[in-house]
Amino acid sequence: MLSSLMDPAGRRISYLRISVTDRCDMRCVYCMSEQMSFLPRTDVLDFEELLRLSRVFVRHGVRRLRITGGEPLVRRDIGFFFKELGSWLRLPEQAGHLDELTLTTNGSRLAQYATVLAEAGVKRVNVSLDSLDEDRFARLTRRGKLAATLDGIRAARAAGLAVRINTVAMAGVNDDEFDALLAWCGEIGADLCLIETMPMGDTGEDRVEQYLSLDSVRQTLSRRWTLEPLTYQTGGPARYVRVAQTGQRLGFITPMSHNFCATCNRVRLSCTGRLYTCLGQEDGVDLRHLMREGAADAALEAAIQSAIARKPTGHNFLLDAQTGAISGPQRHMSVTGG
């Protein structure tokens, strides 16, 4: 292995999130505007370009890859991509070994791909699901079908995949469903992770009104559920407890109320080949331009090292305690990759 990627705060970068597309078959209210303009396909990295960049990162100590979007499973031939990356899980340490390959999905096409993912070596998936009510789900996703996502989750469990349900906690929107989601996750053998809404891009929604601190949510849940402390980690930002009544884990991701920057080991590669070293910052480096200009791997490595040398200590998501105003980057989450 070549030299590891270390940022100025002494954090070792071992986790890369790769967006394979900005396209999605839903328009979730916290992620996209209803009328999205998607990138021309020529702007999006092809699979060989994505694999080449992934190899560079793995050679420099990245051991976890998460595939994101948009919705990654809408991309044609995505099964090939997972099969190729999955082969790296079986390589020896010195030859580009991966410890883990995971996926974040809205679940709409998971029934089609669950077996493919399992055969590729994926062990767990995160599924975005913000409501178990069919009408509410349709409003929040603007066009999603709850039945398709639930079918996908069932298919994933049947294929042997561990499932974590990701739920964005929104005041006055779905804050009356957390108990039902916890109980349902217990029934199907899935973990649940609650996420504070993040101010990324103009989605046409008032996220100041929707913002909900997970401190208060945890306190409320603890009156009805026994939440046991855990040291369990997945490599991401969630902090977990065990729900004694179900035996499943409950995670909290709190970018606004308690940022997790001190232990950040992650960078993100957009589907256009832009490397973002922080979800909450605009700074990045264009790796697509370098590749398409014929740059050798050494030049890509230098550009990546230079970007990580500028990785900020913390993000730019702001919450004004006096006014309640929140702010963040102007790009949509779907452009960056989750």
The annotated binding site for GTP is made up of 17, 66, 104, 266-268
Return d(Cα 249, Cα 97) in angstroms, integer. Answer: 28
**H-helix or E-strand spanning residue 216:** helix 214-221
The DSSP string of 234-279 is: -SSS-EEEEETTT--EEEEE-TTTS--GGG--EEEE-TTSEEES-T
- Write out the binding residues for [4Fe-4S] cluster: 24, 28, 31, 261, 264, 278
Instruction: Give rounded-to-5 percent helix, strand, coil for the chain.
Output: 35, 20, 45
Return d(Cα 295, Cα 11) in angstroms, integer. Answer: 27
Tokens 């605009």 appear where? 282
Task: Tell me the sheet residues that pair with 176.
Answer: none
Task: Tell me the sheet residues that pair with 162.
Answer: 124
- Exposed / middle / buried, residue 104 (Cβ in 10 Å: 0-12, 13-18, 19+): buried
Return d(Cα 278, Cα 282) in angstroms, integer. Answer: 8
How many CB atoms lie under 10 A from the CB of residue 317?
A: 21
Return d(Cα 14, Cα 21) in angstroms, integer. Answer: 22
Tokens of 17: 């999130």
- Write out the binding residues for S-adenosyl-L-methionine: 30, 70, 128, 198
Return d(Cα 322, Cα 324) in angstroms, integer. Answer: 6
Q: Beta strand pairing status for 15-19 and 64-68?
A: parallel
- Write out the binding residues: 17, 24, 28, 30-31, 66, 70, 104, 128, 198, 261, 264, 266-268, 278
Of 99, 137, 6, 104, nearest to 60 (Cα)? 6
Return d(Cα 122, Cα 101) in angstroms, integer. Answer: 5
